Amino acid sequence: MLRRFRLEEPETVQEASQLLARHGEAARIYAGGTELLLVMKEGLAHYERLVNVKKIPHLDEVKLTDGFVSIGALSTHRQLLFSPVVRRHLPAFAGMEANVANIRVREVGTIGGNLCFAEPHADPGTLLLALGAKVIAAKNTGQREILIEKFFVDAYETCLEPDELLTEIRVPRLPARSGVAYLKFGYLERPSVGVALFLSLDGNGKSVGDARIAVGCVGPTARRIQEAESLLEGKSVDEASRLIAEAGAAAARASQAISDLHGSQDYKEHIVGVLLKRAFRQAVEQCRQRVEG
Amino acid sequence: MMASLMSKPRGAQTIPVSFIVNGKAYELEVEPHELLLDVIRDRLGLTGAKRSCDVEVCGACTLLLDGRPVSACTLPAFEARGRQVQTIEGLAENGKLHPLQQAFIEHGGFQCGFCTPGMILAAKAMLEENPDPTEEQIKHFMHGNICRCTGYKKIIESILAAAKKMRAPLSAKRKS
């Protein structure tokens, strides 16, 4: 049962920030509610006030700028799946969105709500890590840009200050000769393991330029695994594909996997390696298509 | 005791909600924490949508909000302000079953019926954006609607049959 709360409906980011500042821990942002209302119904959390930010204009826009794709925090999963900008410039992101939870959650849940709730078993954060995204946090007095690596602090915890709102996600546009894959595995509604890989090839298309590897769902937060990335960077594609099992093992070790209802630590670590291998093949294929195309 | 717990405390916040349910206009006052499922079932008496898992997983509480499926068990009723709600009760027109309802009966998609209202509403939303889905596309769209009685084969067959029937008048129009 959902306990009583008061609803605030600010129409600007400033008003929302002021409400958060005034009410502190007793208030929480409502941006879709697909996760927040579940914990409130279960009695795991109670807030005296919910601050519905859906009346603030323009927060659900998706735009292409010179350097990046700008995603408004109030965009629903379903909007992002169908956004022409996302489909064209970040096809892996659209693919990930097509498989978040179920159709009803995708219709209502927002990307900003998803990231701010910081549920460990979520897809978008992991992929955004591999995409090198940044988020914009706004408050009454201004705004700041945060690297997504710094954003997730712990399970259900972000680095947002009490009076800050996440307003926008900035995803760098993909360079030529690059590929991105996000693969997940799980037999419950929420994924047990998520692995994301961004790969770019150098000028002649023969060797790996940048690699970004992220693992999510297995432990408290999604994380970049630089040990695994550095195994691949600068290597020829053949060499990198020989090293991918080693990179998978490094990613698994550094992923902070824990045993829980979604599987044992060993099991999750094994799946990390399997998914990274598959993600590598997909990403290389995309790199080559983009070279040839 | 129960009555005093359930009654509205003095000074409780209420939100006016004007919305259309199955083509009929309603104006209600709801409290912020009231869920759409409870308002539809308890105040409007439309009990087709069921409370089952209560955590947005099973789809038994599915309603269409502006034509799109939502979990009414976890959606505050204020979200329906100014919008169109479709429940299973509003699907038949002039005593004639919707092609999806008819197909669920004819093809055995209708089992105990607890999940059926949600299945049919979700399928309706799917067919509106994709009138000619493949079996794979049906599975993907419908995977959030769970049937605990049987498998999904008959449900998928029912949806495919309804889709074909619903396309028929379209293609007849195209030909003429």
The pLDDT tens digits of the residues spanning A206-222 come to: 999 999 999 999 999 99
Residues A99-104, mean pLDDT to the nearest whole number: 97
Write out pLDDT tens, residues A128-187.
999 999 999 999 999 999 999 999 999 999 999 999 999 999 999 999 999 999 999 998
> Is this complex scored with an ipTM above 0.90?
yes
Give percent of chain B with pLDDT exceeding 90: 85
Give the mean pLDDT of chain A. Answer: 96
Q: Identify which has the larger pLDDT, B36 or A290.
A: B36
Q: Residue A119 pLDDT more than 60? A: yes
Whether residue B74 and residue A34 make contact (CB cut-off 8 A), yes or no, is yes
Residue of B nearest to A109 (CA): B70
Per the listing, tokens 């074909």 go with: B164
Q: Which of residues 2-31 of A touch B (CB under 8 A)?
A: 2-7
Give percent of chain A with pLDDT exceeding 90: 95
Q: Residue B1 pLDDT more than 60? A: no
Q: Residue A281 pLDDT more than 80? A: yes
Q: Name A138's bridge partners.
A: A143, A165
Whether residue A108 and residue B141 make contact (CB cut-off 8 A), yes or no, is no
Q: Identify which has the larger pLDDT, A124 or A292.
A: A124
Say which residues have a Cβ less than 8 Å from residue B20's Cβ, sequence separation at least 6: B26, B83, B84, B85
Give the gap in angstroms from C-alpha B127 to the nearest C-alpha of chain A: 14
Q: Cα separations (Å) of B22 from B64, B85, B101, B123?
A: 10, 6, 16, 17
Any idea what DSSP says for residue A219? S
Q: Tell me the HSE value of B137 on the side-chain side, using a 13 A CA sphere.
A: 13
Residues B70-94, mean pLDDT to the nearest whole number: 98
pLDDT of residue A272: 98
Name the band, by pLDDT with cuts 50, 70 and 90, for residue B2: very low
Q: Residue B153 pLDDT more than 90? A: yes
For chain A, the farthest-separated pair of C-alpha atoms sits apart, in whole angstroms, at 62
Give the mean pLDDT of chain B. Answer: 93
For chain B, the farthest-separated pair of C-alpha atoms sits apart, in whole angstroms, at 67
Interface test with A, best of B36, B37, B57 (most A CBs within 10 A): B57
Query: What's the rounded Cα separation, in Å, for the pair A137 and A116?
Result: 11
Whether residue A102 and residue B32 make contact (CB cut-off 8 A), yes or no, is no
Q: Say if strands B15-21 and A223-224 run parallel, antiparallel, or are unpaired.
A: unpaired
Whether residue A33 and residue B33 make contact (CB cut-off 8 A), yes or no, is no
Query: What's the rounded Cα separation, in Å, for the pair A182 and A198?
Result: 9
Q: Which residues of B33-44 are buried (b: 16+ CB within 10 A; e: fewer)?
A: bbbbbbbbbeeb
Query: What's the rounded Cα separation, in Å, for the pair A268 and A102?
Result: 23
Among A3, A78, A189, select the one facing B57 at the smallest CB separation: A189
H or E stretch including B70? strand B68-71
Name the band, by pLDDT with cuts 50, 70 and 90, for residue A204: confident
Q: Which of residues 76-105 of B touch A (CB under 8 A)?
A: 76, 78
Q: Residue B138 pLDDT more than 50? A: yes
φ, ψ dihedrals at A269, nearest 5°: -65, -40
pLDDT of residue B4: 46
Residues B80-86, mean pLDDT to the nearest whole number: 98
Residue of A nearest to B126 (CA): A103
Q: Are the CB atoms for B107 and B43 separated by under 8 Å?
A: no
Give the gap in angstroms from C-alpha B143 to the nearest C-alpha of chain A: 7
Instruction: Return the number of other C-beta atoms located less than 10 Å from residue A206's C-beta.
Output: 11
pLDDT of residue B3: 45
